Structure 1
């Protein structure tokens, strides 16, 4: 009878099946890829790289081997993943600008701080560094457990036992599923001093460690400018960030001129991209007080920054550079690691050091026990050899006469199987009196060593004393590599008035009906601009005079307002650019108006349903691309107008689509930063057409035939009523478009 296939299927809810499988994937990513082990600070790929290089005997004093050979061994025997990711991990271990203490010594192009990539692995060669050998020291001394590789053909260590605080010394970074880690590098001498203090006083307060660990010590140097409280809080909680600045020197020249020289840049910043960024600031005129940037780097970094003039304040230029470029950057701290290779968690600096200390004591005990076992094996043989020397003639006789000399010797001299076998394999040259004396001395030395190790294994005090001595020796080996990152508290770069740095130039802004914008240098009337072309089917809609230092307000029909800088507008060549690339304005929403705005300016805004209010310029200036919602509109209505209220205006005139007009006092409207407003005029049909603020005694102006203007007060008084009325028909001669034409306001520069 054959089994039906359906009988092998077990029904299971999709949600639980997905949850179980995703959990397995997440745990695999967390424990086997992305998070470092607190004991050796390595991820599996890094550990397997170093282990493969050790088996290839790529010692610091030996010859280099092709990186392709190393990568091949790693992915073939230990790490079945992509060769590119394995080689990238190897390259990082060799970069002295990425690791504080490199674990791989590369020969060939392994990339540079400019951001250039390493050469392909067929062109580069590598070997281990002394630090890597120190990290792996003790692998043959029974200090750690081994596990089978993914295919069961080989073994690999679960963790490296060497006495080197790699987790904090070299740092780590990784993104797992639902968690990440980011650990900056530190100075070995400082870490050892803190660890020694914790060995003596494991209950020491977290803040006490700040007397030993000043902060991160990046391979690229730089200046750590955070205050001590911020640094301490980050290390106590295991989360935070550090503010790193480039090392910049002001160089004085003859005649009062000066320039800046950058000799160190923040960690993780590409020098090539940094120079491009600063050059972009100059080209886009975002930093007009900076004239030039030059890269004069050779082996050391040297970036020269030239000010626009000798009168520029160096502090102002530095503040601007810190604010606008990566000469100041942040490095986050998220001390998320695996404890005992299995449990992820965020640790404080103290907890990470204590975990490393506990592991090193465990390694010390395991090493001692392994050595005791080796001594016992050797003592067994030495005791057998000494018995043979004491009965040398009888031993020789047994060997010459007996058919089974091994069994006879074991019975007669009370020897073990190993001892008898060793005596039978002894060379004739060893049957000397001198050899007997050497064996006696060896036995005494081994017995003494074993007694010391046995005492070390049983006494925690001796273990701590030995570990402290080893740590001090470690710090001494790295004493010639002092701290590179200077810790110097500095204020956060203040918010600067960027308009003060923009060169003030007159421009004529042209916005087309289809939303294409451009700015022509100088002030000119649209009709006088030569070769003013538009895209097919498009034409000019709004144009006005402004300056590159102005903030330009854009009002949209959906009640939103946006702000763009006059210096950000594209030039007049071609058709310009769509304004929707500068602001997040939906394609179907039209622009109502655009003009220069200042924070103290008063504005009149009104919707098509006749509601409106006054607003201040500071309320409508939007610093982000998303803009601000100024008017809350009822469904089916739109923002109809947004206008400047002239200085001295004391009245509002409103005209509806029904040609009815009314005038009321300005103070009947309240200032708001956002809202629907109040009713300016009521309508039975149609809606608002236009409104204007004006000075009552001057009357209202609108275009008349022949360019004449009506400013007669008697023409205004009949329409002067309370706000919210229906109004009366507009006076004779009022434009058929039902639009007021305000008098031309002349600026101080005209």
Structure 2
């Protein structure tokens, strides 16, 4: 029955026999009860099935489904706390050479950051050695990344699309297939008994002729020696059938011994008993099912799970929960890096936390704009003049050799937009975003993560306006400086928290245009940095306090001519390096 199906993986014979016996004893047995005997496929290459029990039951009940099969692996400890993974069984129908080749390709493409090397130490048995990048890598995390991207996890399909006894193709459940198989075995038992009965009847007819002529062997010899047609004479004299007469004529002389006559009578008795048994079997459905039960039981004993031939090769397990939506930290070795974005939009990641990046080499006419100390497991948020936030994975940034790559290879940043902010993602932080049209609002940083390369529109802009700044909103006061050199200080709470929009007016006054902003705590006071990295403090900052959207007052003497609370871009990086 299994062989008739379009796509059915190998199963354990002992389990099938046990389910078949249960169905013989109770023809109303449902598929769910049969699955107490049939656990699932038993593949010749072993492996581990991690398909949920509900999915397995649904596949056998409907006749269609599949089974997730994973390679069998174990952790092998090494000196100095190191370890490696040894794969001893791979999924069914997976070619080992292509599997190793695929893993190597993914390593070259840097899509397996946790894996350092793969070695094929197989002889007659499978032995693939996987070496991690670091001993700090979690083995389960490493294997989950491999299961996700390679054929170390494969799917074996089940499709019970078969021809029924009437020759009609249809999809059957496990119960239906077993019933048809058992019915077929019953029909085979009847046909076999019928064929055997015909042979027994023929032999009994021959033996009956032998016993007749043994009573008068001298007459038989005379007829054979002197009659022109001995066959016809034998049939007439002893009332034999043509089949009996033919058998007597073909009899060897040694069969005329007395001992041979005893053997014939013994065989005749035995065959008569067998004929009676065969006739009873052909005429009784109950005896037919008893016959099938005996055959299935014998088959199950030959392939019992306790025997080397019938031992189950494929085991069952539950896949770890981390296989689904595991965070990037699970598949990336945590290492400190410094992400650098140039003014022309070239991005790269330098190993370690670097204090002074102004000495780095850039393309002619380019220089550093942003430098963020982070780790390879972090996300970076980039805010651009089009009012969108873009997400960069720190682990996917190019290395520090060379000039890096255009940031537009990682995000779909329009040609007419430019980055104005780059920082490490902190879901607990709040940001202040504003446009050069004096509008802005606060937003939770957790609402800024873009799931697509096209970014996430946060700040809606009026015609002619651009996003101007994005700073952490850490404090209780906000200070604004306009291009008209007027300073305004008010409470941060006056700026609403929004998830998207244009925001509220921040700085008032005729022709006022926002030049810069900063957020500070009233206890710490208002400070700013000049181009040399020196910090200045405004003790009487409260004199510039007013309500939001007011015009403000002229900035105090000594405020930077750049009209910025801190330098931006390469100027800020240089001043920061000097301060450190």
Residue 519 (structure 1) aligns with: 349
CA root-mean-square deviation: 5.4
Q: Which residue among 134, 137, 144 is the counterpart of 1:323?
A: 144
SS of 1:430's equivalent in the other structure is: coil
SS of 1:528's equivalent in the other structure is: coil
Q: Which residue among 584, 591, 596 is the counterpart of 2:424?
A: 596
2:46 matches 1:221:
yes
1:323–1:592 distance in 2 versus 1, CA, 3 Å: same
**What's the CA shift string for 1:362-408, capped at 9, x where partnerless?**
443444455556767x4798599779979969997999479xx99x9
Q: Which residue among 307, 314, 333 is the counterpart of 1:485?
A: 314
- Mean alpha-carbon deviation: is it higher for 273-282 or for 328-337? 273-282
Q: CA deviation at 1:307?
A: 5.9
1:383–1:558 distance in 2 versus 1, CA, 3 Å: farther
Structure 2 stretches lacking a partner, 5+ long: none
2:474 matches 1:647:
yes
Q: Distance in 2 between matches of 1:614 and 1:358?
A: 75
1:253–1:678 distance in 2 versus 1, CA, 3 Å: closer
Q: CA deviation at 1:470?
A: 1.5
Tell me if the contact between 2:186 and 2:292 (Cα under 8 Å) persists in the aligned partners. Answer: yes
1:599–1:707 distance in 2 versus 1, CA, 3 Å: closer
1:186–1:699 distance in 2 versus 1, CA, 3 Å: same
**What's the CA shift string for 1:74-118, capped at 9, x where partnerless?**
xxxxxxxxxxxxxxxxxxxxxxxxxxxxxxxxxxxxxxxxxxxxx
Q: Distance in 2 between matches of 1:267 and 1:499?
A: 28
2:124 matches 1:299:
yes
Residue 147 (structure 1) aligns with: none
Q: Distance in 2 between matches of 1:581 and 1:398?
A: 111
How many residues end up aligned between the 2 structures? Answer: 549
- Mean alpha-carbon deviation: is it higher for 218-227 or for 442-451? 442-451
1:571–1:389 distance in 2 versus 1, CA, 3 Å: same
SS of 2:321's equivalent in the other structure is: coil
Q: Distance in 2 between matches of 1:663 and 1:399?
A: 143
Q: Distance in 2 between matches of 1:198 and 1:318?
A: 44
Matches within 5 A, 1:697-716: 698-699=525-526
SS of 1:204's equivalent in the other structure is: coil
Q: CA deviation at 1:188?
A: 1.4
Q: Distance in 1 between matches of 2:359 and 2:272?
A: 107
Q: CA deviation at 1:216?
A: 3.2
Q: Which residue among 360, 366, 378 is the counterpart of 2:185?
A: 360
Q: CA deviation at 1:352?
A: 3.7
2:383 matches 1:555:
yes
2:494 matches 1:668:
yes
Q: CA deviation at 1:319?
A: 1.8
2:367 matches 1:543:
no
1:363–1:729 distance in 2 versus 1, CA, 3 Å: farther
Q: Which residue among 143, 162, 166 is the counterpart of 1:338?
A: 162
Q: CA deviation at 1:597?
A: 2.0
Q: Distance in 2 between matches of 1:350 and 1:475?
A: 18
Matches within 5 A, 1:582-621: 582-583=410-411, 585=412, 590-593=417-420, 594-606=422-434, 612-621=440-449
Q: Distance in 1 between matches of 2:513 and 2:287?
A: 92
Q: Distance in 2 between matches of 1:238 and 1:688?
A: 70
Tell me if the contact between 2:337 and 2:349 (Cα under 8 Å) persists in the aligned partners. Answer: no
Q: Distance in 1 between matches of 2:530 and 2:458?
A: 30
Q: CA deviation at 1:694?
A: 2.0
Q: Distance in 2 between matches of 1:669 and 1:470?
A: 84
Matches within 5 A, 1:445-524: 449=274, 451-478=276-303, 479-481=307-309, 482-488=311-317, 491-493=320-322, 495=326, 498=329, 502-511=333-342, 513=344, 515-521=345-351, 523=354
Residue 16 (structure 2) aligns with: 191
Q: Which residue among 554, 568, 573 is the counterpart of 2:396?
A: 568
- Mean alpha-carbon deviation: is it higher for 261-270 or for 491-500? 491-500
Matches within 5 A, 1:160-239: 172=7, 183-224=8-49, 235-236=60-61
Task: Normalising by structure 2, report the TM-score.
Answer: 0.71
**What's the CA shift string for 1:527-569, capped at 9, x where partnerless?**
5224x336xxx84574313334332113356655332232321
Q: Distance in 1 between matches of 2:66 and 2:497?
A: 42
SS of 1:40's equivalent in the other structure is: helix
Task: Choose between structure 1 and 2 for higher RCO, CA contacts under 8 A separated by at least 6 residues.
Answer: 2
Q: CA deviation at 1:570?
A: 1.1
**What's the CA shift string for 1:485-524, capped at 9, x where partnerless?**
23455753474672796342333413463x5432344536
Tell me if the contact between 2:434 and 2:470 (Cα under 8 Å) persists in the aligned partners. Answer: no
SS of 2:189's equivalent in the other structure is: helix
Tell me if the contact between 1:603 and 1:642 (Cα under 8 Å) persists in the aligned partners. Answer: no
Residue 70 (structure 1) aligns with: none
SS of 2:286's equivalent in the other structure is: helix
1:304–1:450 distance in 2 versus 1, CA, 3 Å: same
Tell me if the contact between 2:435 and 2:469 (Cα under 8 Å) persists in the aligned partners. Answer: no
Matches within 5 A, 1:28-427: 38-43=1-6, 172=7, 183-224=8-49, 235-236=60-61, 242=67, 244-252=69-77, 259-267=84-92, 269-272=94-97, 275=100, 293-306=118-131, 312=136, 317-326=138-147, 329=153, 331=155, 334-340=158-164, 342-345=168-171, 347=173, 349-369=174-194, 378=202, 382=206, 400=228
**What's the CA shift string for 1:38-81, capped at 9, x where partnerless?**
552454xxxxxxxxxxxxxxxxxxxxxxxxxxxxxxxxxxxxxx
Tell me if the contact between 2:206 and 2:244 (Cα under 8 Å) persists in the aligned partners. Answer: no
Q: Distance in 1 between matches of 2:427 and 2:220?
A: 109
Q: CA deviation at 1:645?
A: 1.3
Residue 533 (structure 1) aligns with: 363
Q: Distance in 1 between matches of 2:65 and 2:488?
A: 61
**What's the CA shift string for 1:278-320, capped at 9, x where partnerless?**
667877888887665433221112234556677x4xxx62221
SS of 1:325's equivalent in the other structure is: helix
SS of 2:33's equivalent in the other structure is: helix
1:492–1:596 distance in 2 versus 1, CA, 3 Å: closer
1:273–1:654 distance in 2 versus 1, CA, 3 Å: farther
Q: Distance in 1 between matches of 2:449 and 2:77?
A: 41
Q: Distance in 1 between matches of 2:194 and 2:321?
A: 55
Q: CA deviation at 1:651?
A: 1.8
1:364–1:715 distance in 2 versus 1, CA, 3 Å: same
Q: CA deviation at 1:484?
A: 1.6
1:393–1:273 distance in 2 versus 1, CA, 3 Å: closer
Q: Distance in 2 between matches of 1:701 and 1:255?
A: 51
1:352–1:561 distance in 2 versus 1, CA, 3 Å: farther
SS of 2:348's equivalent in the other structure is: strand
SS of 1:212's equivalent in the other structure is: coil
**What's the CA shift string for 1:112-147, capped at 9, x where partnerless?**
xxxxxxxxxxxxxxxxxxxxxxxxxxxxxxxxxxxx
**What's the CA shift string for 1:581-606, capped at 9, x where partnerless?**
434x2665735343322222222234
Q: CA deviation at 1:271?
A: 4.0
